[in-house]
């Protein structure tokens, strides 16, 4: 493993980009052949998300410092997790409900810490993206494009709102990191975990299309909802892709912090 890491660090940026792209493609191929029930990918995604939030909780407990964390992103995460858990409980009630409950509890603890005991360490001057600017377009889009199920209109709109809000909830965190210029390692691990989580979730829809899921194709032709779900996954993966690439590049040197460019992330 160390030999592989040293070899990767010695490559040029173009070569490393090619290696990462090939690795993502190989991961899709492995998912295709190894995982029979592709719903497992959603479970994997939610577990990775929970691990990322657990890293933040560990940071707050260990360092007693919330510097570098965006309260806006954490509150947006709290909103979409609470709504998704409610919709999941009413509409499905499965393992995803339990995983959302765990993530909701961990996120709630982070928000409480940032608004309570650790409020003095919160860098509000860098966290400038207002949450309503992120939420309003998501809610408006959800009113017009939502799943066409037997459930009532409000539940369907809330479910769509969760999907859209999750796709862009990380924007305040990325903007904050870009304004401050440096990213503390625990925050970097958290954002990287989000990127990995979204890649795994997007893989589910990509594999569904590659397998020629006739029901999915039919629904895509008759309603825009399936296409919007896939677009939302791709958008969030794309939003996080630049950071994940910078994350990998920065850890070449073994440094505990990441330096972001002043443009190009958000």
Which pLDDT tens digit goes with each residue over 66-106? 888 999 999 999 999 999 888 877 776 666 778 888 889 99
Determine contact, residues 201/42, Cβ cutoff 8 Å: yes
Enclosing H/E stretch for 182: strand 182-183
Look at residue 209 in the predicted model and tell me its pLDDT: 66
Name the CA dihedral angle for 111, 112, 113, 119, rounded to a multiple of 10 degrees: 90
Model confidence at 111, pLDDT cuts 50, 70, 90, reads very high
**Chain Cα centroid distance, residue 183:** 17
Q: pTM of the prediction?
A: 0.81
pLDDT at 226: 76
């Amino acid at each position: 493993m160390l030999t592989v890491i040293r070899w990767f660090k010695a490559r040029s940026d173009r070569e490393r980009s090619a290696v990462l792209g090939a690795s993502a493609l190989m991961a899709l191929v492995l998912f295709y052949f190894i995982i029979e029930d592709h719903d497992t990918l959603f479970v994997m995604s939610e577990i990775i998300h929970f691990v990322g939030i657990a890293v933040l909780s560990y940071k707050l407990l260990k360092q007693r410092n919330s510097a570098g964390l965006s309260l806006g992103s954490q509150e947006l995460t709290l909103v979409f997790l609470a709504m998704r858990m409610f919709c999941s409980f009413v509409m499905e009630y499965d393992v995803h409900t339990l995983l959302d409950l765990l993530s909701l509890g961990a996120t709630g603890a982070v928000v409480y810490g940032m608004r309570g005991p650790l409020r003095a360490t919160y860098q509000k001057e860098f966290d400038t993206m207002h949450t309503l600017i992120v939420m309003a377009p998501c809610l408006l889009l959800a009113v017009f494009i939502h799943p066409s199920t037997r459930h009532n209109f409000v539940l369907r709109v809330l479910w769509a709102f969760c999907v859209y809000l999750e796709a862009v909830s990380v924007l305040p965190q990325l903007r904050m990191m870009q304004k401050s210029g440096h990213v503390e390692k625990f925050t970097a691990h958290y954002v990287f975990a989000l990127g990995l989580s979204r890649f795994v979730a997007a893989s589910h829809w990509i594999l569904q299309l590659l397998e020629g899921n006739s029901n999915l194709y039919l629904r895509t032709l008759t309603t825009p909802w399936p296409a919007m779900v896939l677009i939302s996954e791709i958008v969030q993966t794309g939003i996080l892709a630049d950071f994940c690439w910078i994350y990998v590049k920065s850890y070449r040197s073994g440094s505990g912090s990441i330096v972001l460019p002043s443009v190009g992330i958000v």
